[in-house]
A and B are shown apart, each in its own frame.
Chain A
Amino acid sequence: MNKEFWAKVENAYLEAAELPGEQRTPFLEKVYRDRPDVRLEVESLLQHKEAAEHLTQSSIVVSAASLFDDDDDLIGTIVGGKYRVRECIGSGGQADVYLADHIALDSSFALKRAAPILRKDPEFRQRFLEEARRAVVLRHDNVARVHDVLESGGEMFVVMEHIEGETLRQRLERIRRPLTVEEFLPIALQCAAALAAAHEKRIVHLDVKPENIMLTTDGRVKICDFGIARRLSAKSNSDTSDASTPDWTFAGTPAYMAPEVILSYQFDERADLFSLGTVFYEMLTGRNPFLAATSPATTARVVSEPAALIDNPAVNRKLEKIVMRLLEKDPEDRFHNARELQTELDSVRRSQRRLRDAATDIREAFTESRWIKIAAFTLLAIVAAASALWMNWYRIERVWLARLPERRIVVVLPFTVIQDSAPRSYMDGLTELITAKLAELSNAVPQLIIRPASEVRQAGIISPQEASGRLGANLALEGSVYAVGDSFQFVLRLTDPKELKQLRSKVITVSKLDSLVVENGIMTSALQMLELEIMPAQRAALAAKGTSDPQAYEFYLNAIGYLASRTTDSVENAIQQFREALILDNSFTLPRAGLGEAYLVKYEAIAKDPELITRAQEACERALSIDPDLQEGHICSGNVYYAIGEYRAAVEEFRRALQSKAPSSLNVHYESSMLSAFQPKLRIEPGFDAAYRGLGRAYQALDDLEAAEATYLKAVKERPDYLYSYTWLGQFYATARQKYGESVELFKKARDLSPDNLVPHLALCGAYILLGRHKESIEECTASIAISPTASGYMNLGVALSMTRNFQEAASAFTHARELNPKYYKVVGHLARAYYWIPGKRGESLAIFRNAISLAQDELRTNPYNWDVHIMTARYWAMVGDRNSALSHLNTALKGHPKNAHYQAIAAVIFNQFGERALAVNLLQQAVAGGYSTADIDAEVELDNLREDPGFRAFIAARATNVR
């Protein structure tokens, strides 16, 4: 840390902190006008002024107290003279549970003990004891047994059956999807049986939730924790004795509590039925029907909002009715008791069995057509759903022709519009969506490979021949729409692109362009044509989600289509259409997240206006405030945090995106090209890819390279056929690990997967630059420019040419790049440097350097933690001879990435510029030790004066004998 900088920051901070809030920024701008580094640092610190006030001497007393308070002092001791405590296996608000071995018997038990805060509370002790005594009475196969209650060391312990297995909550989090009906029924039946047994003994549980339902390894269900259970008055449940009226506050879980319990009026067994209903709902949909961002909001929903219908098509009407009846607000409208529920569930199970038998018959009839089986008997579910929901809307005609290849490599060609029957952008959006959904599905189906829409677009592929030749597809899906009277017909064709043979076709007729219906119809047809069976859970995830207003959905779809191309007009159109969608349905979260992404695209690609970032942030936050689990929302938020340099917050968001239970339907994502984060290619792809990429980038920015590497490796493992998984990892190896050889291999792999995509070419160009293989690098850049001229293509070309000291041609390449992206500081900086070294142009170069510096400062205003910008700014200041500014930015950058070899090499160039040769040589040595390419040192014209330096020569000689 630079002492001068630190002292300046301290002074500036203390001065600014004295002032009233609104005067601080003007003060800093005035007094520290020429020290943007100090100003930025102080502004950042001022944001934490309030938090600093909470750091008090008392806060450590509280921390220490809470640290020692819940101390596990029990482990290893013997409780009640016979149970040796092994470990703590769970903690809740009210109690801790330990695993203990009986010292005489060869068996283990669970010991439950009041939470520390409650241990000494005589009232709580009394209840703990009473409740345990009640539970001892309860003996049922599906209830965790309570064996004993004992007192030891002045505390009460409840000795319970130890169950090996996992809780329902753990199961749901592990599988990250709703349960299938087949999985659901046995669990549901056993829960009903357990409650029936308890209720017959007049015991209500009152805290039924997934955490309290154990699933044993052998498939049995045990309901645990009748901890706050109470016994109802034997007389009558309309009696308002304290048995049915809570007279002290217990910590139930609001998201699973019955309304009458929350409202603290009379309740009976039927409160448990309500809780069980919320659990059933969550098992079948993956989410709690009432859960909101805060407890009071959740409580309000439980009490007054009806649960939304179950959106899982595998759940039949009868089962749905059962769950919805459990969730009735008025206990009178629910089942009378758990036995009645048990009978109803049993009848669903029996009809389910009959269906499955029928499905087996159908499958046998199809044995020769090699269906990919994802799950049993689900085709039937799809067909049944299709007939029930959509038969009125369209009719499906099918013709089976030939067999499909085992490994299906599919390109979805842009859907075409015949005679202006539908808006072009609508069809583009539809193509994107269908591709994204199929791609998402392909994650779960190894035999299915979907070429991303971005590749198809970039390679400009419109015919099946091209799909085969350039993307290696063996199937092409084509679609077109035309108007027939008042209705629309979609024709879908699946072709063999090599033989140009039509394999399958389907016609879907819809009465209007209702997007939900169209999309579901096309997806169902596409899946049937591809002979894919699909699990109900996946189907549910693929179903259009989030709005019941078809028109809002259509606007959303259009917007996605517009956002795919990144021209000024199309981004504005996308913003407009997202807004329209929101006007129609204010609670529709996807267009909110989309709007956030659109503002971010506008910021990145069009106008560097910080206001856009603010708006993007607001939009993402709104989306998340409505649906805290929305994957698109977390990705949107992560991208915003990344853009403003809040990398830790970005990590958090991307992690949440990866954890989000419902796989997203699609996602907007930025793809950056080699070694530069500009001119990102907007792509629409499954949310998990975007989240992996975002997470990796954020870790990298935080200098947590292990985590970044693990993230990218995971992405490759998850999607081995996905070109960008390789380019990300390759980019990472090149920029963060200096493993250029590995990078080249990965980029080649990406190039082979998709030879007409410009990204691998660009990446290879960059990696060859780093390896000093300038000729190959110029070839790859030229190849990328031939596919599509981009600023990054020209820029890397310019860099490669600069490396060969061809500054004249380099300047011309940089000029092209600058035309394509005039606001990018790096392009301008490179251009300035090229001019600096062209004889007679040095005078002109200074003004261009100043322009680069000012563009870089613009970037730093939004993101003061972009270390790359700091290091390059330092270099530019050095070139114009301003030592103070150069060193200040250099320090900031090195503070961010102290061990980055690239930064050390640039530091060497800067110190050399100021005549500090010894230091420069020293820094170069460190850079090379850290893996910096020595070829780069050879190419640096700025280091020429060092080549006669004895220290430099000694070190170069040492390196020559020690080449990697």
Chain B
Amino acid sequence: MVAGQGQLTKLLQAWSHGDQSALDQLTPLIYAELRKLARFHMSRESAGHTLQPTALINEAFLKLIDISGADWQSRKHFYAAASQIMRRVLVDYARKKRSYKRGRDHRRVPFEEALAYPSDLPEATDIVAFDEALRKLAGIDARKAQVVELWFFGGMTVEEIAGAMDIGTSTVHRDLEFAKVWLARELKSIERGDYPTQ
């Protein structure tokens, strides 16, 4: 893992400079980390524990990327690229999986039925729907959409977001509060309409 860090960092940088092929090399590595993460969360050992609200970046991404590697112009740049790539990888994966399942018309018994789910776990969010709603928000208010992306996919704190975007923390708070409710409404209508998300 450590041996690969330099290369991974380069890939992420290459991608953030517009090299699309870097993404193809990066994706399986991120998948592997996410799988590990999944195994940890779903294993019996962790089920009894309360999940710490650690964000994805910290869980999966920082292991891969050497942020102190100083090639980054700033933390800001790194976070922006990392949040974006995480969003992209997750959404692509969720979408692929969804279309695969639809194609076979297979039914999965809701997870809750199979196993008593510890009730203090946060609810899962439909990533594809969330992405769609976020894209819509970006069309109306690009700043709010970016705040949400950094916060949700990048796992940054309010202070980090404020620093990265050169805005005040109170603005970040306001943006988040308003964007969340707007997104929640959007998600609800997506969910209820079950209209195709492509």
Contacts and interface: CB of A to CB of B under 8 A. Distances in A.
B104 A648 contact: no
15 contacts: A1-B139, A10-B174, A60-B153, A61-B37, A61-B53, A61-B56, A61-B122, A62-B124, A67-B34, A67-B94, A93-B113, A93-B115, A94-B114, A651-B192, A707-B195
Contacts of A17: 177, 181
Nearest to B194: A652
Given A65-B40, A648-B192, 4 more contacts: A48-B184, A51-B185, A71-B38, A648-B195
A290 to B, nearest CB: 17
A71 B35 contact: yes
Interface stretch (B2-10, B41-49, B64-72): B41-49
A71 B106 CA distance: 14
Nearest to B93: A67
Nearest to B42: A69
Interface of A: 1, 6, 10, 13-14, 17, 44-49, 51-72, 87-94, 115-117, 120-121, 251, 646-649, 651-652, 702, 704, 707
B124 A93 contact: no
B107 interface: yes
B140 A6 contact: yes
Across the A-B interface, the 5 shortest Cβ-Cβ residue pairs: A648-B193, A93-B114, A58-B53, A93-B109, A68-B38
A120 B56 contact: no
B141 interface: yes
A14 B34 contact: no
A57 B53 CA distance: 6
A87 B177 contact: no
A97 to B, nearest CB: 9
Given A45-B181, A54-B122, A115 B42 contact: no
Contact of A49 (B106, B181, B190): B181
A595 to B, nearest CB: 24
Size band of the interface chain B makes with A: 35 or more
A120 B43 CA distance: 8
B125 interface: yes
Contacts of B97: 67
Contacts of B40: 65
B55 A52 contact: no
Contacts of B60: 64
Nearest to B116: A249
Contact of B181 (A13, A60, A88): A13
B172 interface: no
Given A52-B180, A89-B106, A64 B193 contact: no
Nearest to B180: A52
Contact of A702 (B100, B127, B151, B193): B193
B33 to A, nearest CB: 9
Contacts, number: 176
Contact of B193 (A10, A58, A90, A647): A647
Q: Find the residue from B38, B114, B141 having the highest chain A CB count within 10 A.
A: B38
B107 A91 contact: yes
Contact of A62 (B90, B123, B185, B195): B123
A46 to B, nearest CB: 8
Contacts of A13: 178, 181
Contact of B124 (A51, A63, A72, A652): A63
Contact of B59 (A47, A61, A648, A649): A61
A72 B35 CA distance: 11
A52 B183 contact: yes
A52 B137 CA distance: 15
B114 A117 contact: yes
Contacts of A116: 42
A53 B125 CA distance: 12
Nearest to B154: A57
Nearest to B182: A45
Nearest to B36: A68
B184 A65 contact: no
Nearest to A47: B185
Interface of B: 31, 34-35, 37-44, 51-56, 59-60, 90, 93-94, 97, 100, 104, 106-109, 111, 113-115, 121-127, 139-141, 151-153, 155, 174, 177-178, 180-185, 187-190, 192-195
B176 to A, nearest CB: 9
Nearest to A649: B192
Contact of B39 (A10, A69, A251, A646): A69
B192 A652 contact: yes
A116 B185 CA distance: 33
Contacts of B174: 10, 14
A64 B94 CA distance: 9
A67 B180 contact: no
A64 B55 contact: no
Contacts of B109: 91-93, 251
B125 A52 contact: no
Given A48-B184, A61-B54, A69 B41 contact: yes
B125 A63 contact: yes
A88 B106 contact: yes
A114 to B, nearest CB: 11
A117 B93 contact: no
Contacts of A1: 139-141
A707 B195 CA distance: 10
Contacts of B94: 67
Contacts of A64: 34, 37-38, 56, 60, 90, 127
Given A62-B123, A64-B90, A91-B106, A57 B155 contact: yes
B51 A87 contact: no
Nearest to B109: A93
Nearest to A651: B193
Given A55-B184, A57-B55, A93-B113, A65 B125 contact: no
A48 B184 CA distance: 6
A68 B37 contact: yes
Nearest to A115: B114
A733 to B, nearest CB: 22
A17 B184 CA distance: 15
B195 A702 contact: yes
B180 A55 contact: yes
A1 B182 CA distance: 14
Given A58-B122, A66-B42, A51 B55 contact: no
A584 B127 CA distance: 49
Q: Find the residue from A6, A51, A652 having the highest chain B CB count within 10 A.
A: A51
B153 to A, nearest CB: 7
B44 A120 contact: yes
A263 B106 CA distance: 31
Given A88-B106, A93-B114, A62 B178 contact: no
B51 A62 contact: yes
A339 B125 CA distance: 50
B168 to A, nearest CB: 15
A652 B44 contact: no
A68 to B, nearest CB: 4
Contact of A44 (B53, B106, B107, B185): B185
A4 to B, nearest CB: 13
B181 A48 contact: yes
Contact of B125 (A45, A55, A87, A251): A55
A10 B178 contact: yes
Contacts of B194: 648, 651-652
Contacts of A6: 140-141
Contacts of A52: 177, 180-181, 183-184
A72 B174 CA distance: 41
Contact of B104 (A49, A57, A88, A117): A88
A48 B185 contact: yes
B139 to A, nearest CB: 8
A48 B183 CA distance: 9
B38 A66 contact: yes
Contacts of B31: 68
Contacts of B124: 59, 62-63, 66
A44 B125 CA distance: 21
A92 B110 CA distance: 9
Contacts of B38: 64-69, 71
A117 B181 contact: no
